[in-house]
């Protein structure tokens, strides 16, 4: 979050316009869904679409409207218990694994809740609510963009569990031939003392866990000039990568045995070869597209098999710092990783397509301090047992990513659009 500003946030940033754009995009993402689509929960780590729609509204209601808009009346006082996620300081919460049991309120009532909050937020933005409110609204907008991505990944997981393999959007992940990206090459980077992390002086948003900016030492290193492809992953499978315990971290090998992993999540082998579940339904596996829906354990095992390693998060950030923020994001059309396109460059596909696992644990930076109040529960409390991913994916909202962005998930996570870039020592 912003620490210093040259001018008040309400002047420096169009609070109401940004809020309206984010909320409208969430509405459009939910538009293809019926009440039945929006209610179930496919697994404890995922949430129903209806819950995402309500939770993001609860965030603005509880964090912004109640404390900053005099006379505001909550839409339904009981909704706080249903749609609080993990904020211990904000009261009791419905258990996360049981969110799919919330058949009521209906999708129609949740949308009415969103409209109620939007009207009140428009009133607050019109009158100006002070810098404290503006800062929380900014955080809330970026928080909702995170849930836009989660809404899509959770719907994919839900629809993949349906034997009919329905499509969220029939035109997503078009089944079209793509070109071979060619052999992977490795680009050298000179290390040394480098600055990493978000700098509030830049005037752009950053989550608290992205800072403070600080200096780290990097040895010289090399990064793969593109992402690992499905075709390369097929070679890993065919050469018994999922059967060789020497390639795996101990906990990862236990997961392979316990959960029967034999391929990335959503891959299915049929009479005509491999297929994969996408937001457009079942599709033939594109051997030239980036592999996705793999865990940190699988990514690490593949890197060992290839004689390489995963990059650290600081190597990744150092390499990406000067690169343009362009890539295959949620506004690019396919809602699926896309085979490498465009002219050759030293390093490509750094942003979009798939979140890239790093070998770095999600830990606090030097001098990190959580934000005061409930906002302090946003990231800091999760700095244990998680690994960092970088770069965004094909379902990340446009404009949401930056070189310092630290996504994080447990190392066995597979339902996100997570993939692999290789690294090696110089």
Please give the Cα distance from 197 to 361 (Å, whole number).
15
Give, in degrees to the nearest 5, the angle at Cα 93 between 88 and 96.
105
361 three-state secondary structure: strand
pLDDT higher than threshold 50 for residue 186: yes
pLDDT higher than threshold 60 for residue 152: yes
**What is the average pLDDT value for the chain, to the nearest integer?**
93
Q: Report how many helices (DSSP H) and strands (DSSP E) the chain contains, helices first.
A: 12, 12
339 burial class (0-12, 13-18, 19+ CB within 10 angstroms)?
buried
Strands (DSSP E) contained in 108-228 are 186-189, 192-196, 214-218, 221-224
For 32-99, the DSSP string reads T--HHHHS--SSTTS--HHHHHHHHHHHHIIIIIHHHSTT---S-TTHHHHH--S-GGG-----GGGG
What is the rounded average pLDDT of the residues 361-386? 85
Q: How far is CA 25 from CA 105, 210, 331, 397, in A?
A: 22, 25, 10, 9
Under 8 Å between Cβ of 406 and 362: yes
Q: So what's the pLDDT on residue 5?
A: 32
Q: So what's the pLDDT on residue 2?
A: 37
What is the rounded average pLDDT of the residues 190-200? 96
For 258-285, the DSSP string reads HHT--SSTTEEEETTEEEEEETTEEEE-
What is the rounded average pLDDT of the residues 221-249? 98
Q: So what's the pLDDT on residue 6?
A: 36
Please give the Cα distance from 293 to 419 (Å, whole number).
7
**What is the band of 391 on the pLDDT scale with cuts at 50, 70, 90?**
very high
Please give the Cα distance from 45 to 409 (Å, whole number).
11
Give, in degrees to the nearest 5, the angle at Cα 22 between 20 and 23.
65
Please give the Cα distance from 66 to 84 (Å, whole number).
15
For 160-182, the DSSP string reads HTSTT---SSTTSS---------
Of 357, 346, 327, which Cα lies nearest the Cα of 417? 357
Of 57, 30, 54, 76, which Cα lies nearest the Cα of 141? 57
Strand order in the sheet with 273-278: 267-270, 273-278, 281-284
Q: So what's the pLDDT on residue 384?
A: 92
Q: So what's the pLDDT on residue 12?
A: 41
Per residue in 37-70, pLDDT tens?
999 999 999 999 999 999 999 999 999 999 999 9
Q: So what's the pLDDT on residue 86?
A: 81
pLDDT higher than threshold 70 for residue 420: yes
Under 8 Å between Cβ of 359 and 223: no
Please give the Cα distance from 177 to 338 (Å, whole number).
11
pLDDT higher than threshold 70 for residue 31: yes
**273-278 and 281-284 strand pairing:** antiparallel
Q: So what's the pLDDT on residue 323?
A: 93
Please give the Cα distance from 3 to 412 (Å, whole number).
34
Under 8 Å between Cβ of 387 and 361: yes
Please give the Cα distance from 147 to 141 (Å, whole number).
10
Per residue in 241-290, pLDDT tens?
999 999 999 999 999 999 999 999 999 998 889 999 999 999 999 999 99
Q: So what's the pLDDT on residue 377?
A: 65
Domain ranges for the chain, please list them: 9-160, 186-425
**What is the band of 89 on the pLDDT scale with cuts at 50, 70, 90?**
confident
Q: How far apart, in Å, do the first and last CA atoms of the chain sit?
A: 36
Residue 322 has a CB neighbour count (10 Å cut-off) of 7
Q: So what's the pLDDT on residue 341?
A: 82
The structure tokens 């020497």 sit at 246
pLDDT higher than threshold 50 for residue 360: yes
From the CA atom positions of the chain, what is the Rg in Å?
22
pTM for this model (two decimals):
0.94
pLDDT higher than threshold 80 for residue 240: yes
More confident residue, 345 or 308: 308
Q: So what's the pLDDT on residue 177?
A: 83
Q: How far is CA 79 from CA 83, 85, 294, in A?
A: 6, 11, 35
What is the rounded average pLDDT of the residues 166-185? 93
Please give the Cα distance from 203 to 200 (Å, whole number).
6
Please give the Cα distance from 136 to 217 (Å, whole number).
34
Q: For a pLDDT cut of 70, what percent of the chain falls above it?
A: 96
Q: So what's the pLDDT on residue 3?
A: 35
Domain 9-160 - what CATH class? mainly alpha
Domain 186-425: give its CATH architecture: Alpha-Beta Complex (3.90)
160 burial class (0-12, 13-18, 19+ CB within 10 angstroms)?
buried
């Amino acid at each position: 979050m912003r620490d210093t500003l040259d001018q008040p946030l309400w002047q420096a940033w169009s609070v109401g316009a940004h809020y309206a754009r984010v909320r409208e995009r969430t509405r459009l993402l939910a538009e293809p869904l019926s009440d039945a689509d929006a209610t179930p929960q496919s697994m404890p780590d995922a949430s129903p679409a209806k819950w995402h729609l309500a939770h993001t509204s609860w965030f603005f209601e509880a964090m912004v409207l109640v404390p900053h808009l005099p006379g505001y009346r909550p839409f339904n006082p009981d909704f706080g218990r249903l749609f609080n996620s993990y904020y211990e300081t904000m009261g009791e919460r419905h258990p996360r694994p049981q969110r799919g049991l919330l058949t009521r309120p209906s999708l129609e009532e949740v949308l009415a809740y969103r409209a109620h909050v939007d009207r009140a937020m428009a009133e607050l933005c019109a009158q100006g609510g002070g810098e404290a409110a503006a800062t929380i609204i900014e955080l809330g907008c970026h928080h909702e963009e995170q849930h836009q991505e989660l809404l899509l990944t959770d719907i994919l997981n839900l629809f993949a569990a349906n034997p009919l393999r329905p499509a969220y959007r029939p035109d997503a992940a078009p089944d079209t031939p793509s070109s071979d990206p060619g052999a992977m090459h490795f680009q050298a980077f000179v290390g040394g003392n480098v600055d990493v992390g978000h700098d509030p002086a830049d005037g752009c948003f950053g989550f608290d866990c992205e800072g403070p900016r600080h200096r780290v030492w990097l040895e010289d290193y090399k990064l793969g000039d593109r992402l690992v492809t499905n075709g390369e992953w097929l070679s890993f499978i065919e050469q018994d990568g999922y059967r060789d315990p020497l390639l795996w971290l101990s906990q990862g090998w236990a997961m392979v045995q316990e959960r029967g992993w034999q391929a990335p999540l959503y891959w299915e082998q049929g009479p005509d070869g491999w297929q994969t579940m996408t937001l457009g339904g079942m599709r033939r596996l594109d051997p030239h597209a980036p592999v996705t829906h793999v865990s940190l354990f699988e990514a690490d095992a593949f890197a060992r098999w290839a004689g390489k390693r995963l990059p650290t998060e600081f190597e990744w950030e150092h390499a990406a710092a000067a690169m343009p923020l362009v890539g295959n994001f949620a506004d690019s059309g396919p809602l699926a990783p896309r085979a490498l396109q465009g002219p050759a460059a030293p390093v490509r596909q750094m942003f979009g397509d798939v979140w890239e696992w790093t070998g770095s644990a999600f830990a606090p930076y030097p001098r990190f301090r959580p934000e005061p109040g409930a906002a302090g529960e946003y990231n800091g409390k999760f700095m244990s047992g998680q690994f960092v991913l970088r770069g965004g994916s094909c379902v990340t909202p446009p404009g949401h990513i930056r070189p310092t962005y630290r996504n994080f998930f447990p190392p066995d996570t597979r339902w996100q659009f997570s993939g692999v870039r290789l690294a090696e020592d110089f």
